[in-house]
Structure 1
Amino acid sequence: MANPYAGEVALVLDGKRHVLKLTLGALAELEATLRADTLVALVERYESGAYSTRDMLALIVAGLRGGGWDGDAADLLAADIEGGPLEAARVAGALLASAFTVPA
């Protein structure tokens, strides 16, 4: 079960539930992948709605890797995401928000 107090979010890939978490290492990987100057710039991209599918994919991969998954972007491209692109976008946004806020 995903623990929102630990910044965790769940996503089902190929019928298997995974826990995503943006650890410090995952955040560093995400910054490098997206060539973001700062984490604030990345958050602002999401808040303004100016993120791309590439941003969303990188965020989900970083979260999966932070949760212990050993795949990469190519593996995610080939995976069946339960709920499709809309669920992927929701999870990406929730993951980013949960990394920087405390649940209500």
Structure 2
Amino acid sequence: MVIDGKRRIMRLTLGALAELEAELGEGSLVDLVQRFEGGRYCARDVLALVVAGLRGGGWRGDAADLRCAEIEGGPLAAAQAAATLLARAFATPGPE
């Protein structure tokens, strides 16, 4: 994801997932996955996921920083990145 002209790494580590659960405050990560799969997510879900993913990738900002940032591709790109991040975090690995 490119934020303010700089490419950023996003990953949902265990710590990032714990922060995401705390940020959402209600429901579960399974509920969040179901909302994204059903297209019923909101901007707050996208923001929380992107922040968690960025923090898992080593970024030290927070949601307030991201609210003011320029995201390449805009809100749609952010939502797509969030959905991809979530799908990868819960994908079942294939046989080795």
What TM-score results when the alignment is normalised by the length of structure 1? Answer: 0.84
| 1:103 Cα deviation from its structure 2 partner | 7.8
SS at match of 2:21: helix
Which structure 2 residues correspond to residues 1-104 of structure 1 after superposition, within 5 A?
A: 11-101=1-91
Q: Which sections of structure 2, spanning at least 5 residues, go unmatched?
A: none
| 1:102 Cα deviation from its structure 2 partner | 5.3
| 1:51 Cα deviation from its structure 2 partner | 0.8
Taking a change above 3 Å as real, the CA distance of residues 103 and 15 of structure 1, as seen in their structure-2 partners, is: farther
Matched residue pairs, number? 94
Is the strand fraction higher in 1 or 2? 1
SS at match of 2:59: coil
| 1:32 Cα deviation from its structure 2 partner | 1.1
Deviations 1:41-61 (A, max 9, x none): 111111111111011000000
Cα distance in 2 for residues equivalent to 1:71 and 1:23 = 16
- Identity, in percent, stands at 65
SS at match of 2:75: helix
| Preserved CA contact (<8 Å) 1:36 1:42 | no
